[in-house]
Homo-oligomer: A and B are copies of this chain.
Amino acid sequence: MTVMPKTLHVNLFEMACVSHIVHGMWRAPENARLRFGELSFWTDLASRAETAGIEAIFLADVLGVYDRFGGLEPALRTGMQIPNLDPFSVVPAMAAVTTHLNFAVTASTTYEPPFAFARRISSLDMLTNGRVGWNVVTSYLPNAARNFGLENEIEHDARYERADEYIEVLYKLWEGSWADDAWRGDTIDNVVTAYDRVRRINHQGQYFSVEGPHLLPPTRQRTPVLFQASGSERGLQTAARHAEAVFIGGRTPHETKENIERTRAAAQACGRAPQDLKFYVMAGLIVGKTEQEARAKLERYRKFYDVEGALSHAQSEIDLRAVDPELTIAEALAETGTSFGNMGRRFGKDQKVGAALEQISRFDEGRYFAVGTPAQIADSIEEWLDIDGIDGINLRQYHSFETLNDYADFIAPELRKRGRLPPFPCRPSSFRARLFGHDRVSNRHPAHSYSFEARSS
């Protein structure tokens, strides 16, 4: 019996801004990032991605500025996620020039009311015939909170409680408000919608009160594919209950495997099955026809590296560049009485400041970073799939559109040769069907319990 090898799901990691995660690279020759505000940037990107067999464009988003490190200046100067466009504004244009490329859009549960958001996603899912995912975030920038009338960010666990109710409202609208056969469009009997197959949701909760009905009939997927990161303990609970695609990290295969297993176990405790979840890591791939060529490309990229953008992104309160490089991070923080923002996720506290700075500027993402020939990169990816147990990657872009073109020209063909990519070109399908083989949420998923049919019986 031939066992089919596990295939890789590939999202292109994007954000509608100049500098998303690899700061400084916008200055590299031929990098198109300064065109992020032009429609043609997005239609070009989508066409190339579809041709390359990329499964989805994954769009990050923030609703404020990273201003903890040095105020507004570093983020503004380096284009670090500001300016940024509403990710929903670029998807319809990309959808119009593609037929099976999918789109995962980040949106927060914290600041905007669920009713309008439900229609926003359903509109995209309808117009794309089911090519939409939602990356659920609760937002963490203090400036974002202050842009929405809050003195400061809502406390972490309370954000997740609110998120849980927000998502419940969405399920009621997406799954429970319209029956599958409600939409008729029947010119003979003169019925657009069968009124008795639509109902109000009458949600009355702690945070929200929403009458309904939903403003759109069931789309191909009803609920979009749900993406989530499982960083914190409370975040893990929400991901285990709701997420179909989970972002995880890990510095070693062991750590990643453990994170995956822990999340799968938590999902099973919620009545879900292990195969109901896919796991993604962010990965950096730098390819050349020879290893030397790949390493030369990496060196070329590194010249543009902008540490200020990285410190701003990290929300660090401390300027590592002004600290004795021989101190450990813990010592440096103690000495200055500051906190280290998100950098803590990336470095051990007993790592030396100089080494940490050096590590950032090497573009080194640890385990999920491969530089070399197509074969070397494919070897790494096969390990990630088979040893670490991941299902997919969010492909980090160093250079637009060089990273995408490199993937198309060198990496995808090698992976395809090894049977490590899903068949392509593929038949038109929903995003969820590409991942799980079915258009709608699994009947073990909590959304399913809100279905019109389930509630009617």
Q: Could you tell me the distance between the alpha carbons of A198 and B37 in the complex, rounded to whole angstroms? A: 18
33-73 of chain A: CB within 8 A of chain B: 34, 37-39, 42-43, 63-65, 72-73
Which of these, B112, B147, B191, B216, contacts A77 with CB under 8 Å? B191
Q: How distant is A72 from chain B, measured CB to nearest CB, in Å?
A: 6
Q: Which of B34, B115, B127, B306 is within 8 Å of A85, CB to CB?
A: B127
CA gap between A211 and B19 in the complex, in Å: 23
Write out the residue numbers on chain B whose beta carbons fall within 8 Å of the beta carbon of A379.
none
Q: A76-B195, A195-B72 are in contact. Are A88 and B88 (CB under 8 A)?
A: yes
- A128–B40 Cα distance when bound, in Å, is 10
- When distances are taken between beta carbons in the complex, the residues of chain B under 8 Å from A88 are 88-89, 120
A148 within 8 A of B: yes
Among A92-100, A237-245, A400-408, A432-440, the one that faces the other chain is A92-100
Residues B37 and A192 in contact, CB atoms below 8 Å apart: no
Closest Cβ of chain B: how far from A74's Cβ, in Å? 8
Q: Which residue of B lies closest to A201 (CB)?
A: B147
Task: Point out the residue from B77, B91, B95, B128 that lies within 8 Å of A195, measured CB to CB.
Answer: B77
Whether the pair A147, B212 counts as a contact (CB closer than 8 A) is yes
Task: Tell me the complex Cα distance, A187–B198, Å.
Answer: 55
- The answer to whether residues A193 and B91 also contact, given A39-B96, A112-B113 and a CB cut-off of 8 A, is no
Bound form: Cα–Cα A299–B127 in Å: 34
Closest to A116 in B: B112
Which residues of chain B are within 8 angstroms of A337 by Cβ–Cβ distance?
none
The answer to the question of A384 belonging to the interface, with a C-beta cut-off of 8 Å to chain B, is: no
Please determine whether B119 and A27 come into contact, CB atoms closer than 8 angstroms. no
Q: Contact mask A193-228 → B, CB, 8 Å, 1/0?
A: 111001010000000111111011100000000000
- Do A216 and B119 have beta carbons less than 8 Å apart? no
Residues of B within 8 A of A143 (CB): 211
Q: Are A192 and B127 in contact (CB under 8 A)?
A: no
CA distance A263 to B284 in the complex (A): 60
Q: Is A123's CB under 8 angstroms from B79's CB?
A: no
Is the pair B19, A192 in contact by a Cβ cutoff of 8 Å? Answer: yes
A150 to chain B, nearest CB (A): 8
Tell me the complex Cα distance, A6–B103, Å. 46
- Nearest CB of B to A395, in Å: 23
Tell me, in angstroms, the Cα distance from A187 to B27 when the chains sit together. Answer: 5
Question: In the complex, what distance in Å separates the CA atom of A82 from the CA atom of B217?
Answer: 9
A89 to chain B, nearest CB (A): 4
Chain B, residue nearest A19 (CB): B192
Please state if B148 and A115 are interface contacts (CB–CB under 8 Å): yes
User: Given A92-B39, A149-B210, are A82 and B215 also a contact pair (CB < 8 Å)?
Assistant: yes
Q: What's the least CB distance linking A184 to chain B, in Å?
A: 9
* Complexed CA–CA distance, A77 and B197 (Å): 11
Query: Is the pair B149, A209 in contact by a Cβ cutoff of 8 Å?
Result: yes
Residues of B within 8 A of A217 (CB): 83
**Of A95, A127, A192, A216, which is in contact with the most chain B CB atoms at under 10 Å from its CB?**
A192
Q: Are B195 and A84 in contact (CB under 8 A)?
A: no
Q: How far is the CA of A329 from the CA of B305 in the complex (A)?
A: 74
Closest to A309 in B: B192
Tell which of B34, B39, B306 touches A95, judged by Cβ atoms closer than 8 Å: B39
Min CB distance A110 to B, Å, is: 11
A43 B96 Cβ-Cβ under 8 A: yes
Q: How many Å from the CB of A46 to the closest CB on chain B?
A: 10
Residues of A whose CB lies within 8 Å of any CB of B are 16, 18-19, 26-27, 34, 37-39, 42-43, 63-65, 72-73, 76-79, 82-86, 88-93, 95-97, 111-113, 115-116, 119-120, 123-124, 126-128, 143, 146-149, 183, 185, 187, 190-195, 198, 200, 208-213, 215-217, 306
Q: Can you list 13 A-B pairs with a CB-CB distance of less than 8 A?
A: A18-B185, A19-B192, A83-B216, A84-B216, A86-B116, A86-B120, A89-B92, A89-B123, A92-B96, A93-B93, A96-B97, A111-B116, A112-B112
A72-B195, A89-B92 known; 4 new pairs, CB 8 Å cut-off, are A37-B126, A63-B116, A65-B213, A77-B193
